[in-house]
């Protein structure tokens, strides 16, 4: 499927979802355990991750073409036990197109790129892989490569690794890495943060630039991660833990049930400033009307005293006024 043309809306179709159990949770369960149980029961045990095993498991191939890059994305055809993570979701396309516009048209050199990049809830890894491909298209002579890390539950890591193997070569300047990160799991968050900070300091050493050596992740992003209401708090906890005051966070989500989703944005506003991405005209001329949100969020120096912020509702009111 070619999704590169502006008129091609095939990617707007929702992926087929798995039905999740809605049983009650035991009080002694941790948040991370509850998160893992949100996956289908068949997904509790990850498949083998050796190269031979990965390439032998059947998939459905989903071809994605942007103006400058193309990928063959392998989706779960039922054998990978990844649940909803094994499908390409619509906002991943929107975010990929934004990255292409932003970094290919506005980044003058590799020195303008974020050094450490983290994707949450990557699923197949489409957005993170597109970003790495875009980075590889930029003049990067003598520059140290950024680190692009795509993450999801442990069960989804083998499929992400399969997609990385199929779309990148060992000699590429930037090759994404796939890691397990369960929202709300302190050990997962610490491991991912440590690896990214270590890579940032390696880049700083390679550039002989001490100002780059900091405990910050430059860019965190996610697409269609605002989906299950019982995971909203875990996602917010993870964003608060992983982002610093200097981290740029971008979330692309499609509106499905605003009455439920508004709780996430309102609670997120306690810890982050929310603002629409104004500079990309294609969002306003096309994707906003398709029900997509594309927001930049930045961490507050001090959380609000109240548990909720009205920034998101104010944005909705502003947009409705403009539309009228």
pLDDT in tens, 134-147: 999 887 766 788 99
The percent of residues above 70 in pLDDT, for the chain, comes to: 73
Tell me the C-alpha distance between 152 and 156, whole Å: 6
pLDDT in tens, 233-253: 999 999 999 999 999 999 999
pLDDT at 38 over 50: no
Q: What is the pLDDT of residue 87?
A: 82
Q: What is the pLDDT of residue 108?
A: 61
Sheet architecture: strand order including 147-152: 177-180, 147-152, 116-119, 219-223, 248-254, 292-299, 272-276
Q: What is the pLDDT of residue 43?
A: 34
Q: What is the pLDDT of residue 152?
A: 95
Which domains can be identified in the chain, with CATH numbers? 10-323 (3.40.50.150)
pLDDT in tens, 94-153: 999 999 999 988 766 667 789 999 999 999 999 999 999 999 988 776 678 899 999 999
pTM: 0.81
pLDDT in tens, 195-210: 998 887 776 555 545 4
Tell me the H-state helices in 12-124: 31-36, 51-56, 90-99, 105-106
């Amino acid at each position: 499927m070619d999704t590169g043309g502006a008129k091609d809306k095939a990617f707007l179709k929702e992926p087929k979802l798995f039905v999740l159990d809605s049983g009650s949770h035991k009080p002694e369960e941790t948040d991370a355990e509850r998160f893992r149980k949100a996956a289908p029961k068949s997904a509790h045990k990850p498949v083998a991750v050796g190269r031979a095993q990965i390439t032998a498991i059947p998939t459905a191939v989903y071809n994605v073409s942007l103006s400058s890059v193309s990928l063959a994305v392998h989706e779960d055809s039922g054998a990978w036990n990844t649940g909803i993570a094994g499908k390409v979701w619509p906002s991943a396309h929107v975010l990929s197109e934004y990255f292409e516009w932003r970094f290919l048209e506005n980044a003058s050199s590799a020195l303008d790129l974020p050094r450490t990049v983290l994707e949450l809830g990557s699923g197949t890894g489409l957005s993170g892989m597109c970003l790495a491909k875009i980075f590889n298209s930029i003049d990067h002579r003598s520059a140290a490569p950024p680190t692009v890390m795509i993450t999801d539950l442990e069960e989804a890591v083998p499929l992400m690794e399969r997609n990385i193997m199929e779309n990148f070569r060992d000699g590429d300047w930037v090759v994404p890495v796939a890691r397990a990160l369960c929202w709300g799991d302190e050990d997962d968050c610490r491991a991912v943060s440590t690896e990214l900070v270590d890579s940032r300091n390696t880049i700083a050493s390679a550039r002989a630039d001490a100002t780059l050596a900091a405990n910050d992740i430059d860019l965190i992003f996610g697409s269609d991660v605002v989906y299950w209401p019982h995971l909203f708090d875990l996602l917010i906890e993870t964003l608060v833990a992983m982002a610093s005051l200097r981290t740029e966070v971008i979330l692309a989500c499609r509106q499905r049930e605003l009455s439920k989703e508004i709780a996430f944005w309102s609670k997120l506003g306690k810890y982050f400033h929310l603002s629409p991405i104004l500079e990309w005209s294609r969002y306003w001329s096309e994707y906003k009307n398709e029900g997509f949100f594309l927001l930049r969020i930045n961490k507050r120096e001090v959380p609000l005293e109240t548990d909720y912020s009205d920034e998101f509702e104010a944005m909705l009111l502003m947009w409705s006024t403009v539309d009228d």
